[in-house]
Amino acid sequence: MLPKNIVTVTMIAAVALCCTQAMCETAKPCAAAPKAEEGFVSLFDGKTLDGWKVSTDSPKTFTVKDGMIIAKGPRAHLYYAGKVAGANFKDFELKIDVITKPNSNGGVYFHTAYQKGGWPSKGFEVQVNNSHGDWRKSGGLYAVKDVKEAPAKDGQWFTEHIIVRGKQVTIKVNGKTMVEFTEPMPAKPPRGMNGRVLSSGTFALQGHDPGSTVCYKNIRVKVLGSEPAGEDRFVQLFDGKTFEGWRISKENPKTFTIADGAIIAKGPRAHLFYDGKVGKHNFKNFELKIDLMTKKGSNGGVYFHTQYQPSGWPGKGFEVQVNNTHRDPKKSGGLYAVKDVFKAPAEDDKWFTEHIIVQGKKITIKVDGKTTVEFTEPTPPKPPRGMNRRVLSSGTFALQGHDPKSVVYYKNIRVKILDD
């Protein structure tokens, strides 16, 4: 006869197992719906498949019961086709609660498009699999950046949180970050998956096979703006598509090109000057934010208080260095030749943000929110030798193409004009 305490624990465990198994077998959830989350909108009414479109290969795979979408049956996919954002999402946060039976496989697609049958050819899949034979587990970006160890368990609800902004994808499971992926430029989709590139599109839920049972509920989305959050009064200087409002120096105009929403500097020395309407391209006190990415051994720069010149290094204004592994010891976030940084605060092949603040005689530079430089210009100014025009005044911005071996990407170029 077992001791009383062991019997009690055994009974409790049996009840818990029964409950978790019932969640998929009888579709009776044991978890309450989450509290309202600011900015999130529900995509599923909990009762019907209104706003969703089932693929025609096996439409009976999907059913609705007790607030859940249940995927159980032959391969099929359920696409969101409702009114929210016109079912076309680019930058967003998606949260979805998921539960799996043992040995079950599923998935959540984004940036995809409806197709009648087969595995979706467009967009990315976030894996749902805790114990299925496929080694790619929940929270992974399928075949792009996989997760090998399951972060959740069968029979227990877990939340997948997918964040897409620009070229950056972040995936969390129950609040823990599983994947951070920055799409390279140009994109390099896996072999045979040419549609697995960031663009825009809808969401889809996967019914994987007759032996799998996966339940999905509390499907909610927050549509994100094209600009990073918390940036009131910032104005974009680059439309992501053309050089409208910009003027290229004459020496090597082909150094600058545009692809996938970014300006690419690749080629012999050249500079790209802002010449648009914002601030009449003459800025004195301002905040400038710009997202950057460097390839290994590359050098670049962001100028301010400068002016257009047809060739050579800009003689007027200051340069904020862009360099993480180039042989030049002066690294990203430094005020070039004035107050330099000698340890790179960012890495190649990853996006980072330089934030330049000029107010009166003070210059502050931050990289990814961390201050790298605080400089107050003395009175009278003392510019470096041979750089007599490196003094605070006013002027425009410029991006640098440094040399033929350097490749630097610039995007999300936005400015806030400050009062004098």
Q: Which residues does 414 contact at the CB level (< 8 Å), separation at least 6?
A: 227, 231, 234, 235, 236, 237, 288, 289, 290
d(CA 357, CA 376): 12
* 34 pLDDT tier (thresholds 50, 70, 90): low
What confidence score (pLDDT) does residue 235 get? 84
- Contact predicate 304/390, CB 8 Å: no
What type of residue is 217? K
| CA nearest to 141, candidates 113, 108, 96, 188 | 108
- pLDDT tier at 188 (50, 70, 90 boundaries)? confident
* Neighbouring residues of 194: CB distance < 8 A, sequence distance ≥ 6: none
30-39, 166-175, 251-260: which range is least confident on average?
A: 30-39
Residues of the chain with CATH 2.60.120.560: 38-223, 235-417
Q: What is the mean pLDDT of residues 126-155?
A: 96
For residue 132, what pLDDT is reported? 97
- Tell me the pLDDT tens digit for each residue of 319-365: 999 999 999 999 999 999 999 999 999 999 999 999 999 999 999 99
Phi, psi of 322 (to 5 degrees): -130, 100
Q: How many CA atoms lie within 13 A of 223 on its CB side?
A: 16
In three-state secondary structure terms, 85 is: helix
Q: What's the CATH number of domain 235-417, 2.70.98.10, 1.10.630.10, 3.50.50.60, 2.60.120.560?
A: 2.60.120.560
Residue 23 is predicted with a pLDDT of 52
Please state whether the peptide bond connecting residue 151 to the residue before it is cis, i.e. omega within 30 degrees of 0. no
CATH architecture of 38-223: Sandwich (2.60)
299/319 Cα distance (integer angstroms): 12
Cα dihedral 402, 404, 410, 413, rounded to 10, equals 40
**What is the structure's pLDDT at 162?**
97
Q: What confidence tens digit (pLDDT) does each residue in 224-248 have?
A: 864 454 555 688 899 888 999 999 9
CA distance 338 to 391: 10
Confidence of residue 36 (pLDDT cuts 50, 70, 90): low
Instruction: Give 3's pLDDT tier (boundaries 50, 70, 90).
Output: very low
Six token digits for residue 246: 């910009």
Strands 256-259 and 105-112 come out as unpaired
Q: Are 417 and 283 in contact (CB under 8 A)?
A: yes
pLDDT tens for 69-117 read 999 999 999 999 998 988 999 999 999 999 999 999 999 999 999 999 9
pTM: 0.54
Average pLDDT in the chain: 90
- At residue 239, the pLDDT reads 87
